[in-house]
Structure 1
């Protein structure tokens, strides 16, 4: 996976009608897997944004502004710097992911496949709102950080540490595999009053170009 973007939540939260309409209109193509996701034969995506999905618009109608309730990084919040999932052996530093020039969500570069990334346009893990962490399953360089994410089960522990040394623990509430052509953008990135976390990676079979056809989304809430 590379140049990907995704979205979803442990419990579906209904957004205001105006915001929902804006999100629906902004839901362009689909999501996720992009350059770096490769098949066993080593096929590679041709463009970093080929499978990108537009970042949802908030209640003010501005894509990626972070002004919607429960979204965006609070000025006083400490950034997350590390994520661990003991049950599947994941321990990774976190890079910061923003938006590309075309307003699609960034993903870690293929050569950083063993490093996950936190989307800065969402919530800070542990704060109210939907925090999103994205990681590759495989890249052209081999196995990546979220290669075994499909093995995560409900009840599993996820720990996110911030730059001040504080650790927030999350409990996995469920997982979902979705076709990239039907990615639940609002459900993943939309506003929520809970302290939610979503982990996203590529999944499923490969298409003719060597791109995984699905995304795996893991939902969790703060303990």
Structure 2
């Protein structure tokens, strides 16, 4: 990932540093049901949803004034979750929300605020040992779906999904996911891809979206 150093400029954090920690920390896929561990796989994006249009689908809305996000809603997959600020760990990776709170997501507070010009990041768990978490159905999202982010000033940043893709941790495209953008964009990230009982999820589901409105 790239960490913001000043508006519009970024500094390299290192190859797949953020991707690696989200693979490890944002999902377990082992739920304790009926007295024994059972592995369940969340939905994965269809290939057609991953055809990213560099220009987005339709014209982007003007950037909004800075205001910290408080909640994210994705009606198509029934997400309605509070947001907490996420920082970087000492190793330079993105911290994650507490796994015990299944309906909690986080945003990278040292980066772009959702609605501002640039690439904003929201991350959340796909599951924990008790079952599905906030972004369990993220891989089922379709292009054209709506993402709404409530903000402290009472405004709502409305994004439209451009693509939904899944990447392995070994081939995670840092620049494509985290690189600077000339308009307000959003990435929503959780675990996905292949799964191993010994090492957990092998990749990440990433939603690409751009600002199309505000209220």
| 2:97 is the alignment partner of 1:108 | yes
| 2:193 is the alignment partner of 1:204 | yes
Separation (CA, whole Å) in 2 of partners of 1:191 and 1:201: 20
Structure 1 counterpart of 2:14, from 23, 26, 29: 26
Separation (CA, whole Å) in 2 of partners of 1:142 and 1:211: 15
Contact in 2 for aligned 1:122/1:189 (Cα 8 Å):
no
Structure 2 counterpart of 1:156, from 142, 145, 152: 145
Alpha-carbon deviations, 1:62-89, whole Å to 9, x = none?
Answer: xxxxxxxxxxxxxx82100011011111
Contact in 1 for aligned 2:25/2:96 (Cα 8 Å):
no
Alpha-carbon deviations, 1:86-117, whole Å to 9, x = none?
Answer: 11110001011011122211111211232010
Q: State how many pairs are aligned.
A: 175
Contact in 1 for aligned 2:84/2:104 (Cα 8 Å):
yes
CA gap 1:153/1:203 in 2 versus in 1, 3 angstroms: same
Q: Which runs of 5+ in 2 are unaligned?
A: 3-7, 38-64
- 1:37 is aligned to 27
Q: Which runs of 5+ in 1 are unaligned?
A: 1-5, 8-14, 44-75
Separation (CA, whole Å) in 2 of partners of 1:215 and 1:36: 9
Alpha-carbon deviations, 1:167-194, whole Å to 9, x = none?
Answer: 0100000011000111112222221111
Structure 1 counterpart of 2:182, from 187, 190, 193: 193
Q: Once the 2 structures are TM-superposed, how far is the Cα of residue 41 of structure 1 from its aligned partner?
A: 5.6
Contact in 2 for aligned 1:39/1:210 (Cα 8 Å):
no
Could you say what the CA RMSD is over the residues aligned between the two structures, in angstroms? 2.5
SS of residue paired to 2:25: coil
Structure 2 counterpart of 1:213, from 202, 205, 208: 202
Contact in 2 for aligned 1:207/1:213 (Cα 8 Å):
yes
CA gap 1:28/1:38 in 2 versus in 1, 3 angstroms: closer
Q: Once the 2 structures are TM-superposed, how far is the Cα of residue 36 of structure 1 from its aligned partner?
A: 5.7
Contact in 2 for aligned 1:128/1:192 (Cα 8 Å):
yes
CA gap 1:28/1:158 in 2 versus in 1, 3 angstroms: closer
Separation (CA, whole Å) in 2 of partners of 1:194 and 1:149: 23
Contact in 2 for aligned 1:110/1:141 (Cα 8 Å):
no
| 2:125 is the alignment partner of 1:136 | yes
- Which is strand-richer, 1 or 2? 2
Separation (CA, whole Å) in 1 of partners of 2:26 and 2:68: 26
